[in-house]
Amino acid sequence: MQPNTLLDAILDEAGISHAGLAAHVNQAGRTRGLALRYEHTAVARWLKGQRPRGQVPDLICEVLAARLHRPVTLDDIGLGVPGRPSPAHAGSLSGFVERATALWRSDEQQRAYLLGAPAVTGTPAVMPVWEWENPPEDVDVSRGGRQRVSMADIEMLRAARAHYEQMYRKAGGVAVRTRVVGFLNAEAAPLLRGGYTDETGRQLHRATGGLVAIAGICAYDSDAHGLAQRYFHQALRLAKASGDRALGAYVIALLVNQALFMREYRQAVAFAEAALRTAGRHITPALASDLYAMQAKAYAHLGDGSSALDCIRRAESAAERILRGHEPDETGYVQPGLVNVQVAEALLSLGDLAAAREHAEAAVDTPAHDRGRVHRLAVLSQIELRQGNADRAAVAAAEMAERARGMESQRLRDRLRAAREHLARNGGAGTAEAAELIDGALRVPL
- Is 196 in the same domain as 105? yes
Establish if 226 belongs to a structural domain: yes
Nearest residue to 257 (alpha-carbon basis) of 160, 345, 337: 345
State which of 49, 74, 89 marks the end of a domain: 89
The total number of structural domains that make up the chain: 3
State which of 31, 66, 89 marks the end of a domain: 89
Question: What pTM value is reported for the model?
Answer: 0.87
Establish if 312 belongs to a structural domain: no
φ/ψ (deg, to 5) at 439: -60, -40
- Judging by beta carbons within 10 Å of its beta carbon (0-12, 13-18, 19+), is residue 355 exposed, middle or buried? middle
- Is 49 in the same domain as 96? no
Residues 6+ apart with CB under 8 A from 55: 29, 32, 34
Chain centroid to CA 312: 25
- Is 237 in the same domain as 119? yes
Residue pair 254/331 in contact (Cβ under 8 Å)? The answer is no
* Residue length of the chain: 446
CA distance 251 to 256: 9
Establish if 256 belongs to a structural domain: no
- pLDDT digit of tens for each residue in the chain (446 aa)? 788 988 988 888 888 999 999 999 999 999 888 889 999 999 999 999 899 988 899 899 989 988 888 888 888 888 886 544 433 344 589 889 988 999 999 999 888 888 888 999 899 999 999 999 999 999 999 999 889 999 999 999 999 999 999 999 999 999 999 999 999 999 999 999 999 999 999 999 999 999 999 999 999 999 999 999 999 999 999 999 999 999 999 999 999 999 999 999 999 999 999 999 999 999 999 999 999 999 999 999 999 999 999 999 999 999 999 998 899 999 999 999 999 999 999 999 999 999 999 999 999 999 999 899 999 999 999 999 899 898 899 999 999 999 998 899 999 999 899 888 888 887 666 678 888 888 888 887 76
Q: Angle between the 285-302 and 305-320 helix axes, to the nearest 10 degrees?
A: 170
- Is 59 in the same domain as 196? no
Residue pair 174/410 in contact (Cβ under 8 Å)? The answer is yes
Residue pair 309/292 in contact (Cβ under 8 Å)? The answer is no
- Is 145 in the same domain as 206? yes
- Residue 207 sits in which domain range? 92-243
CA distance 179 to 168: 10
Cβ neighbours of 198 (radius 10 Å): 13
State which of 69, 89, 109 marks the end of a domain: 89
